[in-house]
Structure 1
């Protein structure tokens, strides 16, 4: 009798372990896996759109793996999803990735997504003709301390000695989704914007604003990854095979973009329409494409320099050390 009770307890204990245990990825009843990849509806994240449209993650991951996708309006929401295990990985701006890493988030940058694509726009009718004219005006970015914000504020501080009110300057800073910037310009809610593509080209085409500083002249405009592929250190350590499969799919998506730009542009138009309900013209996509370089290669030294700028702008409380953030082993295979 005692033996039967012990066996029953062991069976119950085993069941509880099975029910409560688990990895970052979810397992279904038949043993198949389920993962979620995240990205933004920006041109810098076209690799995510291509990978989804062509089902590249499903092709590189083990058979039976279900791949879901989640779309994000800003880096803070994305990083929270990584840290809580809501998503296994995806594309995000380097600013949020570095900020969360220095705050203790256990994440790894395992690849880049693109470089370039940030444009400083001025609303028509403001008489803002040069960056010096921005003193006392308002500007918008997706989030406080996001990649585009740091690029813009670094340029303004270093080249024009103009800063935001947040650190004792004169510029008023507001935040909002890049897809709304054209409307905010039309309604005169903001005077300038630090804009990721394709939304800068949308503003250009619709005539609500003009380019004040183009990509190549913004701080870190051509060297900084505009998007990085991030996953959790836990996944890297405990399931490197899955991370390698995910990165392999990302590399294939990037190669597809490089080799088939016209097809990649059509995918971008389709996915952005699905996600944002805004259909972009081919001319907008063509214009945005000229400002971006699609690559999966990532340089940790550039990220460290950018993080130092974020600290100097007081987005970070302590001088950052990004040792351990970047892991390039997966893109080298």
Structure 2
């Protein structure tokens, strides 16, 4: 557990480094090829990061002698701060944080996808919620305000059921919390509905504290939106495209490994999630979650733009976003 908790200090450290003007030093280190650092989250949409680390795939594509390190992040904001300060050179993050930071002026590029799918809307047993129409006056939880899963849920509720959150004067009460805690929130009755990334939806199912209200294909952008994207800085793309090509090459190898060796990849996910979070997920949970996810590195800018437009419509963004220049597919093209 100490390993996981240590990464909670990353946002503060990043702010200190930014104030000290450390961006140039971090970039110089990556340009020399001496060391790169890759980041990802301990959830199932980021299995490509776990596989690349466990199989040591970056050493196969990077210049000889390059040292590879990994950092694990609790949320998208701290990840994006680390990208912007140069503390990490690339890695996997949800599309929401990537787009939000880009529209705020961050010089970043999405160079690949990590996966699609994996968002599930769960209802607490005994909450009196049999369909989304029942959510007026109910409380829902998402990982963060305006995160990928939050926008997917609120887009669906607004467009299909005419319900919005109290954040914009609506009838649904919104709270935030870490997905790993949702089962306990259901058990205590503190929330009625959760917008849940896998594997935590399958974990809730297995524990019996909640049931599926809306499955992945029927959530807004459920099968088209990347659930994770691979991000690096525009500076690195401009100044060292060969290094970025090597980094993306390892990510592509990891994705191919997942699709060609699903059982081995599942075990890697179980082991790494336990290693990082001290939570052990059963094979049953991982098997169930796997069915809701497509592991791919292909990414299309129009899908991200549609999602960003929804973020604006829901008032998560103050200005209508233009994502032109965010996506660079040159590194995944054959």
What is the TM-score with the length of structure 1 in the denominator? 0.91
SS at match of 1:248: helix
Aligned to 2:82: 81
Q: Detail structure 1 runs of 4+ shifted over 6 Å in the superposition.
A: none
Aligned to 1:107: 108
CA distance in 2 between counterparts of 1:268 and 1:159 reads 35
CA distance in 2 between counterparts of 1:273 and 1:298 reads 29
Q: Tell me: CA distance 1:178–1:25, structure 2 relative to 1, closer, same or farther (3 Å).
A: farther
Structure 1 position 70 matched with structure 2 position 71: yes
CA distance in 1 between counterparts of 2:290 and 2:71 reads 24
Equivalent residue pairs, number = 313
CA distance in 1 between counterparts of 2:196 and 2:203 reads 10
Mapping for residues 130-279 of structure 1, pairs under 5 Å: 130-279=131-280
CA distance in 1 between counterparts of 2:182 and 2:202 reads 11
How far the C-alpha of 1:26 sits from its partner, in A, is: 2.6
Provide, for residues 187-239 of structure 1, a one-character-per-residue CA deviation record: whole Å limited to 9, x for no partner.
22211110000000000000111100000000000011010000000010011
Query: Is the Cα contact below 8 Å between 2:30 and 2:36 reproduced in 1?
Result: no
Structure 1 position 319 matched with structure 2 position 324: no
Q: Tell me: CA distance 1:48–1:20, structure 2 relative to 1, closer, same or farther (3 Å).
A: closer
Aligned to 1:15: none
What is the TM-score with the length of structure 2 in the denominator? 0.91
CA distance in 1 between counterparts of 2:105 and 2:173 reads 30
Query: Is the Cα contact below 8 Å between 1:34 and 1:65 reproduced in 2?
Result: yes
Query: Is the Cα contact below 8 Å between 2:26 and 2:86 reproduced in 1?
Result: no
Aligned to 2:52: 51
CA distance in 2 between counterparts of 1:200 and 1:183 reads 13
How far the C-alpha of 1:32 sits from its partner, in A, is: 6.0
Aligned to 1:291: 292
CA distance in 1 between counterparts of 2:50 and 2:59 reads 14
Q: Which runs of 5+ in 1 are unaligned?
A: 1-18
SS at match of 1:154: helix
Query: Is the Cα contact below 8 Å between 2:26 and 2:87 reproduced in 1?
Result: no
How far the C-alpha of 1:126 sits from its partner, in A, is: 0.6
Query: Is the Cα contact below 8 Å between 1:25 and 1:33 reproduced in 2?
Result: no
RMSD, aligned α-carbons:
1.6
Q: Which runs of 5+ in 2 are unaligned?
A: 1-21
SS at match of 2:101: helix
CA distance in 2 between counterparts of 1:305 and 1:27 reads 33
Query: Is the Cα contact below 8 Å between 2:116 and 2:294 reproduced in 1?
Result: yes
CA distance in 1 between counterparts of 2:183 and 2:169 reads 28
Aligned to 2:331: 330
How far the C-alpha of 1:23 sits from its partner, in A, is: 5.0
